[in-house]
Every structure is written in C-alpha cells, then in structure tokens.
Amino acid sequence: MQSSMPRRQFLKSAIAATFAASGPASSTASAQALTPQAPPARLRVGLCAYSYREQLTKGGMSLDGLFAKAVELGVDALDMTVYYLKSTDPAYLEGLRHLAYRYALPFSGAACGSSVLTGDDAKRKATLQQIKDWVDVTDRLGASHLRIFLGRLRAGETMQQGIDVSIEAMKAVCDYSAKKGIMIGIEDHPGISESAEVCLEIMHGVDSPYAGINIDITHFIPTPTMDAYAQIEACLPYATGTTHVRERFDDKTLIDMDRVWKMFAKANYKGYMSVEYDPDWAPQRGEPAATGIPKLVARTRELCRKYSPA
C-alpha cells in the first residue's frame, strides 16, 4: 500500500484551503479560490428511516407507512437505512422504488451498517464485496448515495495502518460505484473516522469524485486544536448530499444548530439535512419519536428556509 501524507501535515494544509483562522478577508479569499462563482446553497429537509427504527423493527410500521409518515411530515426525501428492508431481491427493491414514485418522495440515499475495518483480512474482503452489493441495492432503489462506516482498529493495528486499509478499500468501492453514478459517503462515527483529521486524510488518499463524507453533526470528537464545529467546517468541501442531523453532540451537550446551518450555507452546500432522531440526543432527553421527530423536522425546515435562498 502507498504511504499517506502524515495526518497532521495534511490536515494543516486542508484546513488552510478550506477556511482561514486569521480573519474575514482571508477566509473570503480562500472560499472564492475553492469555489469561484459557486451557486448558492440548496438545503433540503430529509428524514432517515432510522428515526422510526423501533416501529419498523417491532412491527408497528411498514415501509409503506414510513412513506406516508414522511409525506405527512412534509420532508423532501427519505434516507433509506437498509436494516429495514425485508429483502434485497430485485423485484422487492423495484417495488420500493415504485412506491417512492407514487408518494413523490425520492430516496436521498441508502445507508448500510458495513464497516470496512471489521474483522480479519478475510472478513474485510467479504465486507468489501458486501458494500459493493449494497451499491447495487442503492442503484435498484434509484438513489445516488450510499453511507458506509469505516469501523474500529483491530487489536495491535496502528492508526496509519487503518487509514491505509480504508483508503485502498474506498478506492475499490468508488471504482465500482462510479460505474453506476453512486457516491460513497463515509460517516464520521465512533471509531477511526470520529475526527476530521482522519476523514480528510482518507479523502485525500482516495482522490475520487465518488468519495465523500456523510457528515453526522453529532459525532466529531473535539481535539486540543479543533472543536466539533471546526471539524464539521473542515469536512464541508467533501460533504456528500446527505447530512445526518441530531440536536446533541455525543457528549450530550446541545448543538448550536444556527451555527451549523450557517457553515453549510457559507460552503454553498447542496443536499439534504436528514433528521436522524434518537430520544437520547433530543433536547428533552427521552422524548418519544411521536413528538420528537415532528419537532426536529420543523426546526430543520425552519433553518433550511432561513439559510437556503434556492
């Protein structure tokens, strides 16, 4: 495997290219150099199927019911967490695609639970094929984005080894997904990808227009030099069209949602701010989905309208 640029060296250059800490003038110049005459942000309201995981897994809601609920909430698209699919048979998936058509509710993407770094070498090879299979599922659904995880280092594995494995795996997956026009988004998630530093190094190493970061605003772990907000902002140039939204960071402190949306708007982000509701991350801890999801959808819609002129 090719060696990667040392993470700190790359992160320093990446952040300098993304936003400048020295003041408004240099920040504006950097943004203009990065995206000259970029069209304005287009922030849309999405919903992750994961928000209704309890109802979907315990039989209280069908996928047809999930579509009906999404329409009732007035969201623009559904992020189809694949845990709740009853089958990956082509006929079943094409039926869901037709269901989406009938509800006029597109899939913003699909989300699988596959983790690149899981297990031994044989397991990792199998996982790579599994991700490619989920690319095929995403294609059948008519979506153009698949979320994956990178996972955790195995015992005795160094961070650099994990990064190198992740880069090579992502290259292979993106080569495959590119043939179908599907983006692969790694989620910043507990494990190797919980820091912007690692996420950016992997994006730099993969160097594919079909690789990106499915930002979850919840999960970045603050470092001595970058808080969670700075890490979100640093990753925005690689953000895919699906972002996951909750209202608390992993340490359960409330997120300044206005601040986050302002950063996405400044970066001219175009995509879905997809509600991924969890009672433990709600402002009122433990609030049930029945009342918590509508509140978060309403707040997300308000922010999207405020910061998205299109």
pLDDT of residue 34: 47
Q: Kindly report which listed range (23-32, 95-104, 110-119, 175-184) carries the lowest average pLDDT score.
A: 23-32
Whether residue 32 is contained in a domain is answered as: yes
Give the per-residue pLDDT at 309. 82
pLDDT-derived band at 291, boundaries 50, 70, 90? very high
For residue 141, CA distances in Å to 35, 80, 136, 276 come to 32, 9, 9, 20
CATH number at residue 56: 3.20.20.150
**Is 186 part of any domain?**
yes
Of the pLDDT bands very low, low, confident and very high (cuts 50, 70, 90), residue 37 is low
Average pLDDT over residues 26-55: 74
The DSSP bridge partners found for residue 301 are: none
Whether 1 shows a pLDDT value over 60: the answer reads no
Give per-residue pLDDT as tens, 209-249. 999 999 999 999 999 999 999 999 999 999 999 999 999 99
Q: Is residue 1 part of a domain?
A: no
- Are 246 and 218 in contact, with CB atoms under 8 Å apart? yes
Average pLDDT of the chain, as a whole number? 90
More confident residue, 27 or 88: 88
What is the reported pLDDT for 39?
77
Give residues with Cβ within 8 angstroms of 145, minimum separation 6.
108, 109, 110, 138, 182, 183, 185, 214, 240, 241, 242
Please give the pLDDT value at position 167: 98
Regarding beta strands 107-115 and 183-187, do their DSSP bridges make them parallel or antiparallel, or are they unpaired?
unpaired
pLDDT at residue 101, rounded to an integer: 97
Q: Which domain holds residue 180?
A: 7-19+27-307
Q: Which two tokens stand for residue 26?
A: 């240099």
Q: 69-84: per-residue pLDDT in tens?
A: 999 999 999 999 999 9
Let me know if residue 73 belongs to a domain: yes
149 domain residue, yes or no: yes
Strand partners, 142: none
List, in order, residues 6 or more apart from 22 with CB less than 8 Å away: none
pTM of the model: 0.88
Q: How far apart are CA 193 and CA 196, in angstroms?
A: 7
Of residues 18 and 250, more confidence is placed in 250
In the structure encoding, which two tokens stand for residue 178, read together?
């590119």
Number of domains the chain is built from: 1
Establish if 60 belongs to a structural domain: yes
Q: Is residue 138 part of a domain?
A: yes
| pLDDT value, residue 18 | 46
Q: Is position 2 within any domain?
A: no
pLDDT digits (tens, 9 = 90+) for 137-167: 999 999 999 999 999 999 999 999 999 999 9
Task: Tell me the C-alpha to C-alpha distance, in Å, between residue 35 and each of 38, 161, 202, 229.
Answer: 5, 33, 21, 21
